[in-house]
Amino acid sequence: MSIKLKFFFVLFFLALLQFVNAQKNKFSDLHLKAKYHYGFLLTEYNFFNYFTNNAIRAFDFEITKDLKGNKIWEQVYHHPSVGISFYHGSLGNDTVFGKIITIYPFISFPVIENNRFLFSIRVGAGPSYATKKFDLQNNYYNIAIASHFNIWFRTALDLTYKINNKFSVSSGTAFGHFSNANLAEPNLGLNFWTFYTGADYYLTYKTERKKDIIPNFDKKNEFVFIIAGGGKHTRRFAEQSYFAGSLSGEYKRIFGYKVGVGCGADIFYDASIPDEMQRAEISEVKEIYKLKSGFHLSQELIVGKLSLIIQEGVYVGFIDHLSNHIMYNRGIIRYKFSKHFFANMAMKTNLWILDVAEIGIGYYRN
């Protein structure tokens, strides 16, 4: 596994440790869940329809910890739960796509809750292993995945019914996606939708929730600087890997414990641009075209020291001379590990087409 991919995975687990370490008693409020999934591939490309000959079937085993409000953010989000899940399932064609195995951390946010019912939204991501990958001689139909190790993302809507203090049953629906973040080609990725049912058993004793008076949040400004980089393959099945990086500056307004908005400027460097322009038989090729610049808007969901960010940007100044894209987007995960520094992981896309996965470090101050 590459260093970039390892760092990508480690960041998720560091975020999980922040949640778990918020508890004084690490072994209370633990429960075990088992689920069975049934669903189907969401075929973004019609080509996949010819090779999808079966439904998605999977098993999911989870260890979950209920958070009790020892941190302000836990009370702000109505006492969520965190955990680690082991997922094993098919992908619609065992011969071409194989099966997926993943162990990933997740967090579940309560939406509606009473004495018996709990409706929640769950989000998780982490490393995954695909048993089949693209091979030019032996598996050339699998243009979805070119590597065994990939990145997995999952979101679910879950409804739980509490039978008693020890047992619960649940059902829900989930969306899943996995790909290798453009670290190997081809990389179309796979999306799938499942419906599931399962059972839940409490392993340890429960503790009381804290319900303190949450202090008012003083709105504040935040200034951010990030340097990031990554590797990418082109979509021409070439073996060569290219460096891509970025410098970003941003101003943010933090409105509360949950939400921040901002705007900023970006400079991008992509070493693949001249080679790609030559392959596309574009007559005018310059080294300066490796640079792109733009301005972005940013929306941030804050969960303790962890932030989930979406950005929408427009190329201005150094524009996209290869594909003539006007806009770019980024999905970002940030984890503040000290008073002024954070780890940064981003997926940059041009609309829905993945461009590059970046890892980096940032500096912030209020």
pLDDT tens digit sequence for 316-326 = 999 998 888 99
- Would you state the structure tokens that stand for residue 30, as one six-digit string? 């633990």
* Nearest alpha-carbon partner for 39 in 98, 86, 91, 106: 91
Q: What does the block give as tokens for 80?
A: 């969520």
Q: Residue 57 in contact with residue 88, Cβ under 8 Å?
A: no
- The reported pLDDT for the residue numbered 135 is 85
How many C-beta atoms lie closer than 10 Å to residue 341's C-beta?
Answer: 12
pLDDT recorded at residue 14: 56
Q: Identify whether the C-beta of residue 161 lies closer than 8 Å to the C-beta of residue 137.
A: no
pLDDT at 23 over 50: no
Residues 6 or more apart whose CB falls under 8 angstroms from that of 312 comprise 296, 297, 327, 329
Element (H, E) at 265: strand 259-270
Tally the residues of the chain: 366
Average pLDDT over residues 97-116: 93
Specify the pLDDT at position 139: 87
CATH numbers and ranges of domains, the chain: 3-202 (2.40.160.20), 220-365 (2.40.160.20)
For residue 306, what pLDDT band results from cuts at 50, 70 and 90? very high
User: pLDDT band for position 101 (50/70/90)?
Assistant: very high
User: Of 32, 75, 38, nearest to 54 (Cα)?
Assistant: 38
State if pTM tops 0.85: no
Closest by CA position to 89, among listed 125, 124, 129: 129
pLDDT digits (tens, 9 = 90+) for 42-88: 877 777 778 888 999 999 999 999 998 889 999 999 999 999 999 99
pLDDT (tens digit per residue) in 121-170:
999 988 899 999 888 888 888 888 888 988 899 999 999 999 998 999 99
**For residue 338, what are the contacts with CB-CB under 8 A and spacing of at least 6?**
none
Report the percent of the chain where pLDDT is more than 70. 91
Exposed / middle / buried, residue 135 (Cβ in 10 Å: 0-12, 13-18, 19+): exposed
Maximum distance among all alpha carbons in the chain? 72
List the single range of 3-12, 221-230, 302-311 with lowest mean pLDDT: 3-12
Given this model, what pLDDT does residue 24 score?
45
In order, the DSSP letters of 158-218 are: EEEEE-SSSEEEEEEEEEEEEE-TTSSS----EEEEEEEEEEEEE-S---PPP-PPPPPP-
Helix, strand or coil for residue 49? helix
Q: Which two tokens stand for residue 212?
A: 């303190």
Contacts of 36 (CB under 8 A, 6+ apart): 57, 58, 59, 60, 196, 197, 198
User: Which two structure tokens, joined as six digits, stand for 93?
Assistant: 């064609």
The confidence score (pLDDT) of residue 354 equals 78
Q: Quick check: 359 pLDDT over 60?
A: yes
At 9 the three-state DSSP class reads helix
| Most confident among 7-11, 30-34, 142-146, 320-324 (mean pLDDT) | 30-34
How confident is the model over 218-228, as a mean pLDDT? 95
pLDDT of residue 238: 59
On the question of pLDDT at 302 being above 50, the answer is: yes
Angle at 238 between CA 236 and CA 242, to 5 degrees: 105
